[in-house]
């Protein structure tokens, strides 16, 4: 079963948190912060504009994006964790 976002929604999966600092210290699970980078898994059909047309997304499947730590709605599906958020919640595309 696949998840297909609707409208201007985007399905993303957070990238793994760093387990070691730059100086080589390993971080315990409790000290890790939520990663703010995520990979776009799927996009919806686009936001409906006032004239009835749909806008194009600025992100596409496979893009790496920057999102706020507490943005979106967390979803668990088939043992995987995802986040569903609107395109407005995307802070930047990382290239």
Over the chain (95 residues), the average pLDDT of each successive run of 10 is 88 79 67 77 90 90 91 90 92 92
Q: Burial code of 76-86, b = ≥16 C-beta within 10 A, e = fewer?
A: eeeeeebbbbb
Residue 5: its pLDDT value, please? 92
How far apart CA 57 and CA 46 sit, in angstroms, is 6
Identify the pLDDT of residue 10: 95
Q: Which helix (H) or strand (E) holds 37?
A: strand 37-43
Q: What is the pTM of this model?
A: 0.78
Give me the chain's average pLDDT, please. Answer: 85
Query: Which of 16, 22, 88 lies closest to 55, judged by CA?
Result: 88
Q: Could you give the domains of the chain?
A: 9-94 (2.30.33.40)
- Whole-number pLDDT of residue 35: 72
pLDDT reported for residue 63: 95
């Amino acid at each position: 079963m696949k998840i297909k976002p609707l409208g201007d929604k985007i399905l993303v999966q957070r990238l793994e948190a760093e387990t070691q600092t730059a100086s080589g210290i390993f971080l315990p699970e409790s000290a890790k912060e939520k990663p703010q980078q995520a990979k776009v898994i799927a996009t919806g059909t686009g936001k409906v504009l006032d004239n009835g047309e749909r806008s194009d997304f600025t992100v596409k499947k496979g893009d790496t994006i920057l999102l706020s730590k507490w943005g979106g709605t967390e979803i668990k599906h088939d043992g995987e964790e995802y986040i569903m958020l609107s395109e407005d919640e995307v802070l930047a595309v990382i290239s």
